[in-house]
Amino acid sequence: MDSVPPYYNFYRRTLSDLLQRGIITRQMSVLVICGGETDMNALRELGFSKVTITNLDSEMTESETAPYHWAFQDAENLTYPDDSFDFVVVCAGLHHCHSPHRALLESYRVAKHCALALEARDSLFSRIAVYLNVVDEYELTGVVDNDYAFGGVKNTSVPNYVYRWTEREVLKTVASFAPYSQPNILWYHAFAPPISLLKGRKNLMGLMVLYAAFPALWLITKLFKRQGNLFAFAVLKPDFAQELHPWLKLQNGSPTANPKWLEAHFKHSKPGEETIS
């Protein structure tokens, strides 16, 4: 690898854990959204073979992703049908979208078994780091590193806002899109100091602050994992035959209201009667 991003080992460990749990297998078809060299290296090292890399780089060719396939795809408007790939992953890509939530739900939609996202977490320490200009609020460094031509929002030259997530946001987003069962999500947390990021900026003070604070940050993020800056969440698709909410039932393979359960728990208003909720 020419360069290893600070989240690479976290990415690889997360994939390895999903493999060990049996949630994903190396034989599954994999779609990578906002993909690139980091994804290809991690998936290749772990032995995945049926991989399609997608992004908005109009100059990329399939020869650059071989032996994996490549396709030009907008993360917020994927052209694939529902449940097209066994496993979908997006690493450090959602925050490059105009709507990170929409891109997450597109990942979930086209995944048959599991959708994995790796992003920054909106922790207290992350907010302090943004305030102190230790990390980006808008991803200026990404555009600078790409000669001011791309690397920002939608891979343009406009620096994207770095959207950082919390667990609650992920839960609400998934539950709103798929209100059929309780979201089943695995959470992963880690801490990796953004030293390489700071070295690329004219911010000696920020680098000195980070070095001085590192021992304390390392200890605190070991004790309180959610304060780490690295965050991943694997959203598992439900089995409707077993995981539907009790107020729903399957009809012709699709969830629909379960009148029997609802009548047992609620008074039934006649049509035309006003109800206030």
**Of the candidates 29, 172, 193, the residue with the CA atom closest to the CA atom of residue 111:** 29
User: Helix, strand, coil shares of the chain as percentages rounded to 5?
Assistant: 40, 20, 40
Amino acid in the structure at residue 142 = G
Domains of the chain: 8-243 (3.40.50.150), 244-277 (no CATH)
Give the HSE-up count for residue 143: Cα atoms under 13 Å, Cβ half-sphere. 18
Partner residues linked to 185 by β-bridges: 235
Could you report the per-residue pLDDT of 141-188, keeping only the tens digit for each?
A: 888 888 889 999 999 999 999 999 999 999 999 999 999 999 999 999
| Cis peptide, bond prior to residue 67, ω within 30 of zero | yes
Rounded to whole angstroms, the Cα distance separating 36 from 11 reads 13
Rounded to whole angstroms, the Cα distance separating 174 from 184 reads 10
Percentage of the chain exceeding pLDDT 70: 84
Q: Mean pLDDT for the chain?
A: 88
The pLDDT assigned to 208 comes to 62
Rounded to whole angstroms, the Cα distance separating 198 from 206 reads 7
Give mean pLDDT, residues 227-232: 87
Instruction: Quickly list DSSP for 208-222.
Output: HHHHHHHHHHHHHHH
Number of Cβ within 10 Å of residue 22's Cβ equals: 7
Highest mean pLDDT among 10-24, 205-219, 263-277: 10-24
Range name among 27-41, 139-153, 163-177, 229-243 with the lowest pLDDT average: 139-153
Give mean pLDDT, residues 89-94: 97
